[in-house]
Amino acid sequence: MKESLVNSSKHNVFVNLKNISVSDNFWKPFMERIRTVVIPYQWEALNDRIPNADPSYCMRNFKVAAQMTHKHIDYGVPKDIGHGGMVFQDSDLAKWIESAAYSLVWHPDPSLEKIIDEAIDIVCNAQQDDGYLNTYYIIKGLEKRFTNLRDNHELYCFGHFLEAAAAYYEATGKRKLFDALVRYTDCIDRHIGPEEGKLHGYPGHEIAEMALVRLYEIIKDEKHIKMAKYFIDQRGQKPLYFEEETQKNENGFYWKDSHFQYQYYQAGKPVREQHSAEGHAVRAVYLYSGMADIARLTGDADLLKSCNDLWDNIVNRQMYITGAIGQAEYGESFSYDYDLPNDTIYGETCASIGLAFFARRMASIAPKGNYGDVLEKTLFNGIISGMSLDGKSFFYVNPLEAFPEASLKDRRMRHVKIPRQKWFACACCPPNLARIITSLASYIHSIGKYTLYTHLYISSETKCNLDGTDISLKIETQYPWEEQIDIIFSINERMRFKYAFRIPAWCKKYNISLNGDEASYKLVDGFAVIDREWLAGDKISIFFEMPVSFIRSNPHVRENIGKVAVMRGPVVYCAEEEDNGNELFRLHTGEPESVSIKHEKNLLEGVTTISFTGKREKEWSEDVLYQIEEAATEDRKITLVPYYTWANRKIGEMMVWMNK
Amino acid sequence: MKESLVNSSKHNVFVNLKNISVSDNFWKPFMERIRTVVIPYQWEALNDRIPNADPSYCMRNFKVAAQMTHKHIDYGVPKDIGHGGMVFQDSDLAKWIESAAYSLVWHPDPSLEKIIDEAIDIVCNAQQDDGYLNTYYIIKGLEKRFTNLRDNHELYCFGHFLEAAAAYYEATGKRKLFDALVRYTDCIDRHIGPEEGKLHGYPGHEIAEMALVRLYEIIKDEKHIKMAKYFIDQRGQKPLYFEEETQKNENGFYWKDSHFQYQYYQAGKPVREQHSAEGHAVRAVYLYSGMADIARLTGDADLLKSCNDLWDNIVNRQMYITGAIGQAEYGESFSYDYDLPNDTIYGETCASIGLAFFARRMASIAPKGNYGDVLEKTLFNGIISGMSLDGKSFFYVNPLEAFPEASLKDRRMRHVKIPRQKWFACACCPPNLARIITSLASYIHSIGKYTLYTHLYISSETKCNLDGTDISLKIETQYPWEEQIDIIFSINERMRFKYAFRIPAWCKKYNISLNGDEASYKLVDGFAVIDREWLAGDKISIFFEMPVSFIRSNPHVRENIGKVAVMRGPVVYCAEEEDNGNELFRLHTGEPESVSIKHEKNLLEGVTTISFTGKREKEWSEDVLYQIEEAATEDRKITLVPYYTWANRKIGEMMVWMNK
């Protein structure tokens, strides 16, 4: 009998989307905006029906591929029109199907489902007899497939489609796309793997690792763990597959003059020797997510050590206060410890989303408050900053300081586009936003042994099963604007279990009551844990005090010396030109006086603003650059808005870290 | 009778190198280092005799061209070896001849002169019958000449050779190279100009403008003013010559996606419409120098207005405290007003040298202390920082903040090479340094009507003629380390004239005595002017008080808010890791205590260092990136060295602007 790869005694499983109904006043409007604005808009984009935008070619590519595969099929696309758009264009449809599938879970919509089914028909018509399914190579020539795993995103598109197929199957029970992807998985397994005669390769852009684990979680065939594990284990091993592939196929190597070399792809060394985040940030956190999945399933201690180290490195050395990651535009990459420039940052929306994936998977291994803290930080700040409040435009790059003149005239900030853009040639961020927001409910709770964990505070009703007993719980809150959170249980029978809810790291004072009395709890790894026999109607009321906090950076961070950022609860604030005039860098918080908060229902879809009296440096009377002079300041009312809402009014400057 | 272009009533002529003997304890060692180390080293480089360095190909190109031009000549270079190195490689020899020529003025050296004469023989053997003299096109095909004035540096090499020829003629009286260049000038005049049938072009990289004026100053043929004026007047006129040339010759346009477009070459609009410094910084200040020359000679008020505006824009909006200019690595260019990043700066050594050229020419139009102030600032800081103290290695880029790890891992700072490099593929900076330092004496005094001006305080003896009378004056000083300057006149007969000497802008308190008594003087445009009948032996003693000054930037400068730079006299100071440990950004000057200076003869070839007690931010006890925390500091002795000496000891961090 074959030994199982799986050692799953410690699993801590997140409660499925299907079992949670979100009613949150903060998040539900985001979800609805994705459902009603972004998903329909993206469908138009995928079909090249957006006026004045570059075509996506995505659906056209599938139609062309289908016509080439089945001579009788005619979608009315010219036969010789070829492949359009990026090499990874297929993934756009995959992400769209995935997010649309999640939306169907909480908002059934037969007409949307019909559109998806028709798209799936086209996709499946493009599939080859052997299961292969990538329009770039179907159109450009199948003899070239698997010749540039490093750069041509073949396994990336595969991974995204696997995620889409799993999501749609889970949402609807429909198997057509799912079965097609199982066949495609088998096709890849026949071509890539450790056995002689197969290519000893792995994805250039990771995601297939976690997608394969997801497939395993559904059909429980360990060969899918084996594939994911091979992609992870083989990565960075000598002789380096990417080097061999480059030489064999004369692919050229874009990063040959770079400092990161193959670490751009996290492939410069075996993953178990990787302890600090390097290279392309999105690839990195997708890989780390897959590593965490495999470490969880297999109990591989070395792999887990790398995951822990990589997590710590990101969170304690390379993460912005907004949860943005990827400091450098060059290679859209991590740079080095404590290097956190606010203006030339890349901070791709997708990278923060990938960090949320990683956080969720780390929490599945060992629930610690830190994972939920980072998840919450990215969600309330660096992720949703990626989308305008009307859902119609998007940031790829999420700076912590923006100067419109610099974006125009300073090449170092050319990637910092102000305002948000309608769409991108490489349209990865909008659909990625859509998939995380539509599946947000699945980040709230997890179930471990005898324990129910709450990671995020989102008004919702959840039904779950803990060791055989059905439990319902309801969260009611006006988080992040108000301090109270009520959690109400309904359980059919008395049951003893631990309820563990995260005490946010930002919160220094809180009060927890149970059924009106002071609650008794233990603090374990960032969670308050109440261990008792629960009854229907049990109600926990939590007050997380949310003072306006003036936060410092670790003094190793060169860019933030002498500066403070303002937070309230999980929300990072920023100064915008609209409220504070230009040259925001002349503002100083000083010892802020008369700090006040105000909830403004009609501002920016409803936000709590912060005001206080600070200082502003006065102009010099002499028109010179340098002189002996004490800085002269005058009092100035400073008004801050939540960071995620910036650039939703007039184009102007923005600044998170203000001079003290 | 043709009207003269020249309206020279207001000329203020700098005293020629030949008439000044420098004995300065600060500058003479630099001059000697250039003469004894740099000039011999460069000659080896030009002849490809530096081990482990990329070959220059410069002399080889001239030999190949000479062999191709005269079949009987054989320098032993393979016939078909082609052109090597950059398209502008000829200019390296020109700059070398120019600086060697200057050195011959103050240090005759027959063996060096012989080497130059032999090099000139080779150069002249490469000249074509029609006077043309550029090895790139002689070797690659003369039919291609004048087809890419924009990018192929043809007129740039011409300009540099004209400067070299003039310098060598002035130094030695030898005419061979000079006459060859007059013929080359005529050749260019036959091909480029306003007349029908000629190319209506101008240099892509400026310098020919000022070189032609220099030629005019020697042989007084106004056609050379006309040529220079045409290059200036035609620049940026519509239809744009560079556009026409691009289309006609299918040259491609490297800057087509840039924000500056043809302003990279200062050719996006006519020069009289240019009022802020834009584009490639070296090109810009070379152009502005030529414009100043022509404005001075012709009295063109519009041109002068542009020169004044461009000067003010650079000095009051775009110049670093070290005199470095060119903020952006992209295009080695100016960026925009008040944008002065200290770490990603370009600050090319050549650009500061060009700024000195511009300053000297502006002072020739109207002597103002400001020109000498900037000249002094660049010389003591941003220019000589370009060379190591042993004369053996060079900076192209002169940052005001350096972090070795960032230079390796941050693409934005990849151009900031630490330490100085032995040589460059594009070796423009070392020979440019050589030419300004060897000709430094010619920046000290100028003669206007009835007035002798002193712009720089350098120990020296000068003989000059003021309105027919021979005057000698001697400067004795330990500037910039000590505060006293003595100036002693010797004149054969009593003579009344004005002696005007610059009161440095950095100096807030000074004392001037004449023959031991308090002097009576007027302050005019930054000069102290003594108007009297002078006698042999008259002695002026000046004390410029040199306290340690903590300087602020204009609050419009985002990068320097809350920071101070330290100066003493004209010298800008910096903190180095060697004296202050790493993470220099954690230092704060606070209210500096116990500020002291110390002259250290054995440190860095003899410098005055500055020490005081400041603060340093303490490490956090918690290993996190962000928290609510007051900055905790501890007292720390901070030691500063002159900026120009940085990176002459161990590789490490450096910082000019320190947190207050």
CB contact (8 A) between residue B628 and residue A411: no
Task: List the Cα angle A460/A462/A468 in 5-degree steps.
Answer: 165
- Chain A residue with CA closest to B329: the answer is A411
A551 vs B409: CB contact, 8 Å cut-off?
A: no
In this prediction, residue B8 carries a pLDDT of: 62
Question: Where does residue B650 fall: left (phi above 0), alpha (psi -120 to 50 degrees), or beta otherwise?
Answer: beta
One-letter amino acid of A26:
F
Burial class (CB in 10 A: 0-12, 13-18, 19+), A649: middle
Flag whether residue A484 sits within 8 Å of chain B, measured between CB atoms. no
pLDDT at B428: 75
The SS3 assignment for B627 reads strand
Under an 8 A CB cutoff, do B321 and A625 touch? yes
Query: Could you tell me which residues come within 8 angstroms of residue A558 by beta carbon, excluding any fewer than 6 positions away?
Result: A338, A339, B403, B583, B585
Contact B67, B74 (CB under 8 A): yes
Q: If contacts are CB pairs under 8 Å, which of residues 603-642 in chain B contact chain A?
A: 617-620, 623-631
CB contact under 8 A, B339 and A410: yes
Alpha helices in A474-599 (DSSP H): 577-580
Asked if residue A656 lies in contact with residue A321, where contact means CB atoms within 8 angstroms, the answer is yes
Put simply, the answer to whether B628 touches A344 (Cβ < 8 Å) is no
Collect all residues with Cβ–Cβ distance below 8 Å to B172 and sequence separation of at least 6: B101, B104, B113
Most A CBs within 10 Å: which of B280, B374, B625, as the mutation test of the A interface?
B625
A625, A628, A630, A658: which to substitute to probe chain B, counting the most B Cβ within 10 Å?
A: A625
Reported in sequence order, the residue ranges of B389-459 that DSSP labels E, i.e. its strands, are: 401-402, 445-448, 451-454
CA max distance for chain B: 86
Residues of B in contact with A508 (CB under 8 A): 628
Q: Which of B626, B636, B653, B660 to mutate to test the interface with A (most CBs of A within 10 A)?
A: B626
Nearest-by-Cβ selection for A562 from B562, B583, B620: B562
Query: Cβ atoms within 10 A of the Cβ of A591, count?
Result: 11
Contacts 24+ apart (CB under 8 A), A42-46: A42/A92, A42/A96, A42/A430, A42/A431, A42/A434, A43/A96, A43/A115, A45/A92, A45/A423, A45/A427, A46/A92, A46/A93, A46/A96
Q: What is the pLDDT of residues A306-328, one digit of tens each?
A: 999 999 999 999 999 999 999 99
Which stretches of chain A drop beneath a pLDDT of 70? 1-2, 8-10, 423-426
What pTM did the predictor assign?
Answer: 0.95
Condensed to tens digits (0 to 9), the pLDDT of residues B134-161 reads: 999 999 999 999 999 999 999 999 999 9
Domains (range + CATH), chain B = 270-442 (no CATH), 445-544 (2.60.40), 548-659 (no CATH)
CA distance B443 to B17: 8
Q: Does the bond joining B480 to the residue before it have cis omega, within 30 degrees of 0?
A: yes
pLDDT at residue B2, as a whole number = 59
C-beta atoms of B339 and A617 within 8 A: no
CB within 8 A of B528, min separation 6: which ones? B500, B501, B502, B503, B512, B519, B521, B522
Tokens of B200: 């209506």
Selection from B88, B2, B38 nearest residue B430 by Cα: B38
**In this structure, are residues B429 and B34 in contact, taking their beta carbons and an 8 Å threshold?**
no
Asked if the Cβ–Cβ distance from A617 to B555 is below 8 Å, we say: yes
Q: Could you tell me if A550 lies within 8 Å of chain B, comparing CB atoms?
A: yes
Chain A CB contacts of B408 under 8 Å are: 259
Residues 385-404 of B with CB under 8 A from A: 403
Q: Is A226 on the interface with B (CB under 8 A)?
A: no
Across the A/B interface, how many CB contacts are shorter than 8 Å? 141
Count the neighbouring beta carbons within 10 Å of the beta carbon of residue B390: 11
CA distance B32 to chain A (A): 33
| Residue A523, burial from CB neighbour count under 10 angstroms (0-12, 13-18, 19+) | exposed
Give the closest-approach CA distance of B376 to chain A in angstroms: 15
* Grouped pLDDT means (10 residues each) for chain B, 660 residues: 69 94 98 97 94 91 97 94 96 97 98 98 98 98 97 98 98 98 98 97 98 97 98 98 94 93 98 98 98 96 98 98 98 97 97 98 96 98 96 94 94 92 76 96 95 97 93 97 97 92 97 97 98 95 98 97 97 98 97 96 98 97 93 95 98 97
Please name the residue of chain B whose CA is at the shortest distance from the CA of residue A370. B624
The pLDDT, as a whole number, for residue A52 is 83
- Listed by number, the residues of chain A in 269-328 with a beta carbon closer than 8 Å to a beta carbon of chain B are 315-317, 319, 321, 328
Please state the ipTM of this predicted complex.
0.95
Q: How far is CA B539 from CA A222, B176, B474, B528, B536, in A?
A: 97, 44, 9, 15, 9
Q: Do A336 and B405 touch (CB under 8 A)?
A: yes
Instruction: Give the pLDDT of residue B117.
Output: 98
Residues of A in contact with B406 (CB under 8 A): 336, 339
Residue A159's φ and ψ, nearest 5 degrees, are -60, -45
The two tokens of residue B270 are 């006519």
DSSP state of A17: G
List, for residues A625-655, the tens digit of each pLDDT value.
999 988 899 999 999 999 999 999 999 999 9
Residue A323 tokens read as 């949860």
CA distances from A80 to A55, A59, A90, A122 (A): 17, 15, 19, 18
The residues of A assigned a catalytic role are: 332, 428
Q: Chain B interface, mutation test: which of A626, A629, A636, most B Cβ atoms within 10 Å?
A: A626
Residue of A nearest to B572 (CA): A626
**Nearest residue to A245 (alpha-carbon basis) of A158, A350, A151, A313:** A151
User: By the CB < 8 Å criterion, does B585 face chain A?
Assistant: yes
